[in-house]
Amino acid sequence: MNKKLIAVFSLFLAFTAFGQTKKLTLEDGVLQQYRAFRADNVLGFQWIPNTNNYIFFENFGQKVMVASTSNTKATELVSISDLNKALGTSFRGFFGIEWKDANTFILSEGTKFYEYNVATKSGKQIAELPEVAENQTFDNNKENIAFTEKNNLFFINKNNQKVAVTNESNEGIVSGQTYARSEFGIHNGIFWSPNANFLAFYQKDETKVADYPLLDINETPGKLQNIKYPMIGQESEKPRVGIYNLATAKTVFITPKGNVDDYLTNLSWTPDEKYILIAEVNRGQNDMSLHLYDAKTGAFVRTLLNEKNSKWVEPEHPAFFPNSKSNNFIWISEKYGFNNLYYYSIEGKLIKQLTQNKFVTTGIIGANPSGTEIYFSATGPNPTNMLAYKVDLKGKQTLLTKEEGVHNFSVSNDGNWFFDEFSNHTTPSKSLLLDKNLKAKVLVESKNKYADYQMGTSEIKTIKAGDGTTDLYTRLIKPSNFDPSKKYPVMVYVYGGPHAQMITNSYLDGANLWMYWMAEQGYLVFTVDNRGSENRGLAFENVIHAKLGIAEMEDQLKGVEYLKSLPYVDGNRLAVHGWSYGGFMTTSLMLRKPDTFKVGVAGGPVTDWKFYEVMYGERYMDTPAENQQGFDEASTLNYVKNLKGKLLLIHGTSDDVVVMQQNFALVKKFIEAEKQVDFFPYPMHKHNVTGKDRVHLMRKVLDYIIENNK
């Protein structure tokens, strides 16, 4: 090789090396995972109603682009500047648009709502709600919009008239909002009937629920803000379901058939608007009945099905009606261990168990126009995946997503086309358009946005749980300059509670980007999804019932055992960090297994379950009257004398989920036991510290671990 070629080749190597030596900052790790490092995808994908056209956003929401299944080359439909010129508005982007028909979409600016016609390139303001309006909900035809003002429910009709549905002067009677602290899959409190002839809504009576004080330090003097917080074993909300008839302007109410504080949840309308279906769960959460009610009178018609379990029954999905001309419905149940689909008649007769999978169904995506095929999401045999399937009414099941990973799946109006966007361990993001034969066209495939950065590697493995038989998934992140001949300290990141899964077959394997920053500081970062966590089935999850922390700690210690078996792990330099349930796990491990971890950082921890709320807490622990031994055993307050390592406790002072009393009670016990711990508050933050303050939080957490785990 001549000298000139050698020089050019050396220069190429130098540029290549330089290009891969950018270093992540902690600010990058906390704030930029879904911003600067967000994978390229089809942003804001939506099918346009009654067409095979679809839209998405470009230039960070500055343009709406349109394409079709027959021609995927996108063209500009409307720009934000053209929209603002037509409407006389000052929108900054298109996020949150809803289609009214094939030519018209609706979007809002504050409490003002506008519609825009893409064919005529014109639009108008269609409604203006009061400034205090919340929970805005359009009917299916986008003509009426319901909303709440404080504790009452209203709607603006298609004639732009404001109609009061409730007029309660008692602020403890709350209508149209989510209730039961958003458990049981509840995400809203307003339910329009299919043709908007009725408006159903949740109403909760929380007058006897205890007030819990939060301090607003932004006032001089500080101002008390009371929230309603029903603690385990104490007075809870009393629910009703109201049904407002738009023709008669009258409301009928449905109350629980059992006790007044049972739960009414998973509300759905039949397609013909004659009935509503409501799941009633007893307060003990071990007995659920799906009831049918007459929409006009509120009268009970019949019980469609009943499920009991000695530990808990937790319906999370309303009845799904695959055919708009039939009242037959699909119900999702895990009564035999895993969520599966069951097809029922409106008389309550089981027509067919459609799926019999030994893995978890997570939700129904939709149905084809004839209602003969139902599309649903499920983990598949590998629970770190999220896949899409279809099943017909005879029970024939088909996997629609051929590549493993975490998929976001959408079905076209005619059921002949599918949009599939996914990532996995090796794929940052891939967006596909599939025809009915599952032949795929790639719309977007993202490059690796981390390619120029020093980034470590992640590996997913399995270990055996504390029971010796159950497989648990682990994730181990190593630094980019990993040397197997060295000994590394480890930070264990833990959550460990129900309804959460830390390890997924997605890009970065479900990890937070700051974990990769931590690895570059010379750490291994380890996580195990213990028994009790999500997407593994009922038996895997309910082993924790009435004894929170026991199986979870057993499994975390199996993770520690695995770590110590690795020749490159320094078993004397282990740290643990978690938030919320992970905070409970962190304090439990530091106090009940005091020789395991040298350092712990617990954020927003549950320290004693008697301070937690009714709905979640009583499902997993029952009440102190029923399970005092379990509460005593789980309470970290009873183990403060065992502390050996360094412990930092963190809490948002306005936390309305895990209230400050939890942490204060533990600190008080440490003082009484003459044990030194560290405590750091985040004033005016709720359960999660968000925004730029989160950088401060993670620097506090990680610096504490690095400084004390030497």
Beta-carbon contacts of residue 412 (< 8 Å; ≥ 6 apart):
47, 52, 54, 69, 418, 419
Q: Are 113 and 127 in contact (CB under 8 A)?
A: yes
For residue 593, what are the CA distances in angstroms to 554, 559, 588, 631, 661? 10, 13, 7, 18, 24
What lies within 8 Å, CB to CB, of 595 at 6+ separation is: 644
The verdict on whether 655 is a catalytic residue reads yes
Q: What is the DSSP string of 698-709?
A: HHHHHHHHHHH-
How many CB atoms sit inside 10 A of residue 98's CB?
A: 14
Q: How far apart are CA 481 and CA 459, in angstroms?
A: 15
Residue of 193, 377, 458, 580 with catalytic role: 580
CB contact set of 137 (below 8 Å; sequence gap of 6+): 145, 146, 147, 188, 190, 192
Which one is catalytic: 294, 687, 693, 696?
687
Sheet containing 112-117: which strands, arranged edge to edge?
Answer: 98-99, 104-109, 112-117, 122-128
- One DSSP character per residue, 51-117 reads SSEEEEEETTTTEEEEEESS----EEEEEHHHHHHHHT------TT-EESSSSEEEEEETTEEEEEE
Q: How far is Cα 51 from Cα 56, in angstroms, rounded to an integer?
A: 15
Single out the residue of 535, 545, 467 nearest to residue 309, CA to CA.
545
Active site residue 377: no
**580 catalytic per annotation:** yes
Give the whole-angstrom CA distance, residue 378 versus residue 364. Answer: 9
Strands lying side by side in the sheet with 329-333: 329-333, 340-344, 350-353
Q: What are phi and psi of 639, to 5 degrees?
A: -125, 15
Strand 569-579 to strand 488-493: parallel, antiparallel, or no bridges (unpaired)?
parallel
Residue 573: which H helix or E strand, with range?
Answer: strand 569-579
DSSP 3-state assignment of 637? Answer: helix
| Cα–Cα distance for residue pair 655/613, rounded to 1 Å | 13
Q: What span, in angstroms and rounded, lies between the C-alpha atoms of 575 and 583?
A: 13
Catalytic sites, residue numbers: 580, 655, 687
